[in-house]
Amino acid sequence: MKKILFFLIVLGLPVMASAKITNMNFSDAIRNKVIKLNAVNFAGNHIGKSMRLNMTNLKADSLNITVDLGVILKPDSPGFQPMVLIGEEQLVLAPKKKGDVEVYVFCGNAPLHSPMKNLHYTFDRVGSDDLVKVLRYIHDNKIYDYLGQKAVWSITNHHQLVEVYDIERDSLSKRLIEVLSMVTGQEKPSYYRVNAENNTPGQSAYTSKTLKLVIPFEFLLKASSIISVEVYDGKGFMMEQLIERKRFERGHHKFNVTFDSEPYGPGKYYVRLVDPEKVLQEKKVVAEN
């Protein structure tokens, strides 16, 4: 081995020593000035993989950087949303070298404007423990879309859990609401609102306008019965029958009904589960503008 090393030195060839790699969280690397950051929203989008983190290693050792769950970046221009990083991406940086990684993000403040393409950001802080817990569930279940965004807003903007719902993913939505209920202490809702979505750059990301209301019912029949589900306005007038005189057999029943509230506008509605003789259940629901 000594002869080989001597031969390499004589020839002027580099002798590779075992490289030292230091593992660090992204936030610690920023705070300790181990890396220099250039962050840009390359897609002009507040949801999905739209943020690129370009990092420069300022140290003589190689770094393995792990993006923390819940890192919050602030925009260089006022009026735009902070970005919440879902986290867990990794980047290895050689000494004094640059590298970049694209990361998944959510909007961190619902009323503010969605980012314009190529808007620059800087490190602000790591979010609350509650935010990190929710992002862990989002990451593990890969909820990188509007359902995950609504969950984040329930933490950052204290939005109601009634809005954390995707009509195409009923079971996943309800499991996510279970997690949010435990984290925030909010009660689980008795119905769900499907809101309009807006991802236009430069416009507010959040809209409270209700498109549909989804109402779950669960009940036990001791004998078969004819069941209807009816929607009433605040004055007691029936507006629609969502289920009209359908026979249900004896036993346990569980289902959702969907009320398209948009044509009627915002307001309070009463959704009743009835048989020919009485009201079995009634739920008050609210559509917003």
Domain layout of the chain by residue ranges: 17-186, 210-287
Please give the DSSP secondary-structure letter assigned to residue 249.
-
Provide the residue-wise pLDDT of the chain in tens; the chain has 289 residues: 444 443 333 334 343 444 689 999 999 999 999 999 999 999 999 999 999 999 999 999 999 999 999 999 999 999 999 999 999 999 999 999 999 999 999 999 999 999 999 999 999 999 999 999 999 999 999 999 999 999 999 999 999 999 999 999 999 999 999 999 999 999 999 999 999 998 899 999 899 999 999 999 999 999 999 999 999 999 999 999 999 999 999 999 999 999 999 999 999 999 999 999 999 999 999 999 9
Question: Quick one: tokens of 28?
Answer: 């610690």
Quick check: 212 and 186 in contact, CB under 8 A? Answer: no
Q: Is the pTM of this model over 0.95?
A: no
CA–CA distance from 236 to each of 78, 229, 278 (Å)? 48, 15, 15
Strand partners, 249: none
Phi, psi for residue 187 in degrees, rounded to 5: -70, 150
| Selection from 111, 113, 180, 102 nearest residue 147 by Cα | 180
Angle of helix 146-156 relative to helix 170-184, nearest 10 degrees, comes to 10
Q: Where are the alpha helices (DSSP H) in the chain?
A: 2-11, 26-31, 129-140, 146-156, 170-184
- The predicted structure's pLDDT at residue 15: 39
Alpha-carbon dihedral sign for residues 242, 244, 246, 252? positive
Q: In the chain, how many H helices and how many E strands?
A: 5, 16
Question: Between 129-140 and 146-156, two packed helices, what is the crossing angle to 10 degrees?
Answer: 170
- Farthest CA pair distance, the chain: 101
For domain 210-287, give the CATH number: 2.60.40.2560
What is the predicted pLDDT for the residue at 22?
96
- Res 19: pLDDT: 64
